[in-house]
């Protein structure tokens, strides 16, 4: 199979973790006999530096042509006080909107080897396996009117949280479909005691749930959900929520996984004529300026995003499983970065990438042996 992939390393540790993700993708190509056509483009702070635009036209065109896009992270401290359209994060919102990837899937699971990396008690974390389904192209991050106007004590900022029934329906359907392949439970998270937006959200989810009588559904206010995620995380299977709530709750999920560097994500949009999802894949973390350039960032989230890409955009389930198995194998061997190993000798970002590539080798023999 030919895999036509666009890489957008972005800023800070985005560059470092994407380099490792690329190595792993190339190794998958070698081990499983796929041809790769990989291109790279600019997004975020580096794109502003080189072109003046956080989401240049060239990047937009290449992303439209690629079968799938793998992103690192964007954000540079020097843009913290820049106007909104000259900030790296505008590039991130721009590419998500341009590709129409409305459905952001963020799996959160615990690994036996990392139970002690979580600040929570082992018995709370052991066995956690949930997926956060976050609406990605609507809500307060995109709603208009927005902006800052006026001066002095009258200076005023406005954002608008807006959703249509159609936008809620399609993300809810995604959550229920996923639940059918898992433990058949959806928890829809909103703030319907205060926000009209959430009242519509809840009504639509109740309506969609009627099409899935085999899936249990419950509704939870977002403040309670923030608490339940650390009190009783194993109660969750599929968590369905809007854009900003999902952004915040999934960082909380990092506490369960042991480090934010562990979390991958897949952002899916309309299906293509081939039947594959339009996909943008990225680790959940940001550009981490505090550790950028030191070869110590955890690349597992980016590598897990490669596995998600193989599965959703290329239908290569066996290859995706092999990458996930290689990750687990390396975790078990203790070759992990400093965020997971505060004491003792930690591995570097590139050593972890190399270890995953090595661990991918035997996967083929095992698969071949099973076939013969
Ligand atoms: P962050 O995720 O970059 O970092 C939060 C903390 O987690 C830091 O201490 C960092 O060192 C650590 N961390 C993050 N990823 C890690 C990894 N892979 N390995 C080890 N440690 C890791 O969040 P932040 O500090 O709030 O934001 C920094 C910049 O990133 C900002 O400009 C922000 O806008 C941007 N950001 C971008 C994205 C994205 O590109 N999707 C997401 C979140 C934040």
Q: pLDDT per residue over 184-222, tens digit each?
A: 999 999 999 999 999 999 999 999 999 999 999 999 999
Q: Is the Cβ–Cβ distance between 104 and 136 less than 8 Å?
A: yes
How far does the centroid of ligand 1 lie from the alpha carbon of residue 155, in Å?
A: 30
Percent of the chain topping pLDDT 70: 97
Backbone angles phi, psi at 204, to 5 degrees: -65, -40
| Residue 67 appears among annotated catalytic residues | no
Buried b (16+ CB within 10 A) or exposed e, 256-267: bbbbbbbbbbbb
Q: What mean pLDDT do residues 166-188 have? A: 97
Give 343's pLDDT tier (boundaries 50, 70, 90). confident
Residue nearest to atom 32 of ligand 1 (CA): 75
Model confidence at 370: pLDDT above 80: no
Whether 257 lines ligand 1, by a CB cut-off of 6 Å, is: no
Residue nearest to atom 26 of ligand 1 (CA): 286
- Note the pLDDT of residue 366: 47
For the chain, residues classed under CATH 3.40.718.10 are: 1-104+258-372, 119-256
Catalytic residue, chosen from 80, 223, 271, 365, is 223
Ligand 1 atom nearest to CA at 301: 18
Catalytic residue, chosen from 247, 281, 296, 354, is 247
| Residue 37 appears among annotated catalytic residues | no
| Residue 58 appears among annotated catalytic residues | no
In this prediction the pTM is: 0.91
Residue nearest to atom 30 of ligand 1 (CA): 286
| Residue 271 appears among annotated catalytic residues | no
Domain formed by 1-104+258-372, architecture: 3-Layer(aba) Sandwich (3.40)
| Residue 191 appears among annotated catalytic residues | yes
Model confidence at 354: pLDDT above 90: yes
What is d(CA 68, CA 311) in angstroms, rounded to the nearest whole number? Answer: 11
Model confidence at 243: pLDDT above 50: yes
Whether 338 lines ligand 1, by a CB cut-off of 6 Å, is: no
Q: What mean pLDDT do residues 136-156 have? A: 96
Whether 13 lines ligand 1, by a CB cut-off of 6 Å, is: yes
Whether 291 lines ligand 1, by a CB cut-off of 6 Å, is: yes
Catalytic residue, chosen from 191, 212, 296, 312, is 191
Q: What mean pLDDT do residues 218-231 have? A: 97
Mean pLDDT of the chain: 94
Tens digits of residue pLDDT in 74-92: 999 999 999 988 999 999 9
- Note the pLDDT of residue 106: 94
Q: What mean pLDDT do residues 301-321 have? A: 95
Tens digits of residue pLDDT in 90-142: 999 999 999 999 999 999 999 999 998 889 999 999 999 999 999 999 999 99
Ligand 1 atom nearest to CA at 76: 32
Residue nearest to atom 25 of ligand 1 (CA): 288
**Helices 349-371/317-333 angle, 10° precision:** 130
CATH of 119-256, picked from 1.10.630.10, 3.40.718.10, 3.40.50.300, 3.30.428.10, is 3.40.718.10
Whether 260 lines ligand 1, by a CB cut-off of 6 Å, is: yes
Catalytic residue, chosen from 142, 185, 251, 341, is 251
Residue to substitute in 288, 296, 300, 301 for testing ligand 1 pocket (most ligand atoms within 8 angstroms of CB): 288
Residue to substitute in 9, 285, 341, 348 for testing ligand 1 pocket (most ligand atoms within 8 angstroms of CB): 285
């Amino acid at each position: 199979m030919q895999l036509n992939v666009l890489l957008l390393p972005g800023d800070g540790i985005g560059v470092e973790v994407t380099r490792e993700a690329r190595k792993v993708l190339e190794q998958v190509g070698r081990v499983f006999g796929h041809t790769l056509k990989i291109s790279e483009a600019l997004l975020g702070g580096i794109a502003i530096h080189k072109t003046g635009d956080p989401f240049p036209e060239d990047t937009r065109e290449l992303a439209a042509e690629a079968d799938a896009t793998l992103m690192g992270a964007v954000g540079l401290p020097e843009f913290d006080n820049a106007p909104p359209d000259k900030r790296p994060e505008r590039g991130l919102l721009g590419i998500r909107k341009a590709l129409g990837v409305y459905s952001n899937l963020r799996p959160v699971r615990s690994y036996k080897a990392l139970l002690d990396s979580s600040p929570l008690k082992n018995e709370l974390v052991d066995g956690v396996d949930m997926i956060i389904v976050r609406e990605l192209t609507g809500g307060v991050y995109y709603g208009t009117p927005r902006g800052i106007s006026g001066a002095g004590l009258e200076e005023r900022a406005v954002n608008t949280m807006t959703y249509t029934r159609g936008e809620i329906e399609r993300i809810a359907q995604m959550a229920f479909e996923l639940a059918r392949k898992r433990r058949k439970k959806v928890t829809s998270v909103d703030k319907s005691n205060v926000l009209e937006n959430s009242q519509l959200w809840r009504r639509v989810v109740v309506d969609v749930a009627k099409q899935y009588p085999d899936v249990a559904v419950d509704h939870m206010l977002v403040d309670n959900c923030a608490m339940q995620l650390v009190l009783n995380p194993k109660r969750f299977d599929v968590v369905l929520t809007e854009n900003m709530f999902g952004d915040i709750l999934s960082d909380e999920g990092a506490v369960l996984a042991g480090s934010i560097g562990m979390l991958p994500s897949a952002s899916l949009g309309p299906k293509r004529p081939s039947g594959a999802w339009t996909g943008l894949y990225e680790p959940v973390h940001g550009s981490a300026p505090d550790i950028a350039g030191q070869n110590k960032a955890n690349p597992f989230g980016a590598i897990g995003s490669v596995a998600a890409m193989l599965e959703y955009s290329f239908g290569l389930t066996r290859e995706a499983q092999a990458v996930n198995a290689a990750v687990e194998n390396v975790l078990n061997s203790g070759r992990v970065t400093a965020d997971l190993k505060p004491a003792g000798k930690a591995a570097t970002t590139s050593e972890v990438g190399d270890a995953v590539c090595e661990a991918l080798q035997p996967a083929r023999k095992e698969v071949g042996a099973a076939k013969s």
